[in-house]
Amino acid sequence: MKSGKYIPFLLGATAALHCAAAPATPAPQRPSLAVNIVLSGIPYDFFSRYEANLTEDGFRKFMREGTVFTESRYEYMPTNSVSSLATLTTGAYPSVHGVVGRQWCDVLTGQTVSLIDDPAATGFDCEFGEGCYSGALLTTPTLGDRLRRDYPESKVISIAADPASAIVMAGLGTEAYWLNPRTACWTSSSDYMLYLPGWVTNFNEQYKNNSYFSNWFWVLCKDEMRYRNRRISYIQPEHEGRFRRMEAIKALPGMTAEGRFPRVSATPLASDMVADFVRQAVLQERLGDDDTPDLLNICFDAPRRVIAHYGPESVEAEDMFYQLDRTIALLIRFIEQETNGRVVFVLTTDHGCSDSYDAYALQADRFNGIQFRTIINSFLCAQYGGEAWVTGYFGRRLYINRNEAFSRGLSLDDVQRRASDFALQFRGIARVVPSCDLRSGAASDRYLQRLRNGYYQKRSGDLLVDLEPGLIEERTGVRADTGSAFEYDIHVPLMVMGYGIPAGVSDEEVDMTSVAVTLARLLGISQPDASSALPIRALTEAGTKR
């Protein structure tokens, strides 16, 4: 706790004698710490499906003591982790905050742009050229940025294993920490600080000397009879006959670097590593122990990797959820003990996921995005001449070479519509919308409005592709995926617990842009600059009664 907080007994007694008639100073009505906890990729139904096996102090504590929202959704497409984290922290859609994915094509040059790569930044304790990340391409202030503007002494910290997750949550001017995959140590970059704080360096030294990386092995945390799922790939159960062995797919999704962390990035150990560091951040930075409001953003990326790699129907996904429940229970208990008690916790996810493509053998095929890009390019070449009409395809967004169109005096709108009409012939595609249709006119239905909410003109490309329900793109190491505007992707859990929050279940329809606005209201600050969302009534109306 901060020094100087406690008044010596005699001084306090003397002051009490002189000021006996003075009215008592009212206790602050706002939380001193808000904690955003994002469980990346956890489907909405996991909490009810596995509730019987949860601990009392983890997710059940949220269900018992907090407000549980049953109708919370991300009202845009495509859904992905970085877009949703930006929405949670800015209170705006991708059409406003501009985070459409981890990569996109520059509309002028056709070159691929990475959301966080920045050669001008220097990663701490990294090999030369590694860890050069920053938020330079982020355009929209977050809740944390707003808090620091209103209260410069406030502390705002964002923590995640994935650098993109931490950086997006941190916004334009607050602190971010992530894991160096090569060393499995916590790091940041020169975009956020001049050097790593001493407590981070000391923490990393302890991890370097810890041998549990080599000793750790994934075993089931509960009796085998209690598991609902039967598909198993990696874990070696005691009674093999209870489970259906699935062929393990090679490579973990999104992890290409060598080093200590990639081996455990899709295991419960990765979540424990995040929680360990969060505890140190709370302790060393003294978050929430005075009347100045602080903000802590946490993203657990491991669940997304486990579910994508093994599938939501797997024993690995189920066991990961149970171990995460235990991890969250210990973390919440620690934060409550180390702070002054005026803490608000938000528990949610950044998106859901599809079923595994091979789960029920209804459709064991997947959509080949590389092939799609190649064929669209060939079609446009045949129609208009030239050789390089398509500059990129990322996350259901296809980019057309605009220089080819302009140099031939062609209307870009006409090229987009012709490519869109041709693309509908592909098996597995449900809808293709040219961006020219999103730039003009009102949305004709809620589905089209979701596409428009996810469209950022400078970055979203020329064709937005949506696949048939349940169909996913073919990617290395991926069994289940996200990205659609269907319920399994956009409908997410949302639970809020803590200081001044009532217990109960609410069926209020919640647009996830409202989370940042609601926290701003609870913290007594202005809402984030780019947000036009309304606060959640079930929480703000309860707050006025404190």
What's the pLDDT tens digit per position in 428-466?
Answer: 999 999 999 998 766 678 888 999 999 999 999 999 999
Find out if CATH 3.40.47.10 is the number for domain 117-356+486-543. no
Sign of CA dihedral 73, 77, 78, 84: negative
Q: Please name the helix (run of DSSP H) or strand (run of DSSP E) that holds residue 432, with its range, or none.
A: strand 429-434
Q: For 290-303, what is the mean pLDDT?
A: 97
The domain segmentation of the chain, as residue ranges, is: 117-356+486-543, 369-467
Higher pLDDT, 176 or 232: 176
Question: Does residue 544 carry a pLDDT above 60?
Answer: no
Task: Say how many C-beta atoms besides its own lie within 10 A of residue 48's C-beta.
Answer: 10
User: What residues contact residue 508 under an 8 Å CB cut-off, 6+ apart?
Assistant: 69, 71, 536, 537, 538
Question: Does residue 20 carry a pLDDT above 70?
Answer: no
User: Which of 206-210, 211-215, 404-408 has the lowest average pLDDT?
Assistant: 211-215
Question: Does residue 17 carry a pLDDT above 70?
Answer: no
Q: Note if the bond before 78 is cis, omega within 30 degrees.
A: yes
What is the b/e burial string over 179-190, where b = at least 16 CB atoms within 10 angstroms of the residue's CB? bbbbbbbbbbbb
Task: Say how many C-beta atoms besides its own lie within 10 A of residue 503's C-beta.
Answer: 12
Q: What pLDDT score was predicted for residue 256?
A: 46
Cα separation, 423 vs 465, whole angstroms? 9
Structure tokens at 113: 């742009």
Q: Do domains 117-356+486-543 and 369-467 have the same CATH topology?
A: no
Q: For 423-432, what is the mean pLDDT?
A: 94
Cα separation, 433 vs 527, whole angstroms? 33
Cα separation, 528 vs 140, whole angstroms? 9
Cα separation, 415 vs 184, whole angstroms? 47
Structure tokens at 400: 């057309």
Q: What pLDDT score was predicted for residue 69?
A: 98
Task: Say how many C-beta atoms besides its own lie within 10 A of residue 112's C-beta.
Answer: 14
Assigned CATH class of 369-467: alpha beta
Cα separation, 507 vs 332, whole angstroms? 25
Higher pLDDT, 210 or 445: 445
> For the purposes of burial, counting CB atoms within 10 Å of the CB of 111, is it exposed (0-12), middle (13-18) or buried (19 or more)?
exposed
Q: Do 206 and 183 form a contact (C-beta atoms < 8 A)?
A: no
Question: Does residue 248 carry a pLDDT above 70?
Answer: no
Cα separation, 346 vs 352, whole angstroms? 17
User: What residues contact residue 331 under an 8 Å CB cut-off, 6+ apart?
Assistant: 275, 278, 279
User: What residues contact residue 22 under an 8 Å CB cut-off, 6+ apart?
Assistant: none
Helix/strand/coil percent split, the chain, to 5: 35, 15, 45
Cα separation, 173 vs 253, whole angstroms? 30
Structure tokens at 157: 């910290």
For the segment 149-163, what is each residue's pLDDT rounded down to a tens digit? Answer: 999 999 999 999 999
Question: Does residue 245 carry a pLDDT above 80?
Answer: no
* C-alpha pair distances (Å), 472 with each of 211, 349, 421, 429: 38, 20, 21, 10
Cα separation, 80 vs 91, whole angstroms? 16
Q: Find, among 331, 315, 326, the residue nearest to 218 by Cα.
A: 315
Strands (E), 146-303: 156-160, 175-180, 185-187, 231-232, 244-245, 294-300
Cα separation, 182 vs 163, whole angstroms? 13
Question: Does residue 477 carry a pLDDT above 90?
Answer: no
Question: Does residue 543 carry a pLDDT above 70?
Answer: no
Q: Do 389 and 400 form a contact (C-beta atoms < 8 A)?
A: yes
User: What residues contact residue 430 under an 8 Å CB cut-off, 6+ apart?
Assistant: 466, 467, 468, 469
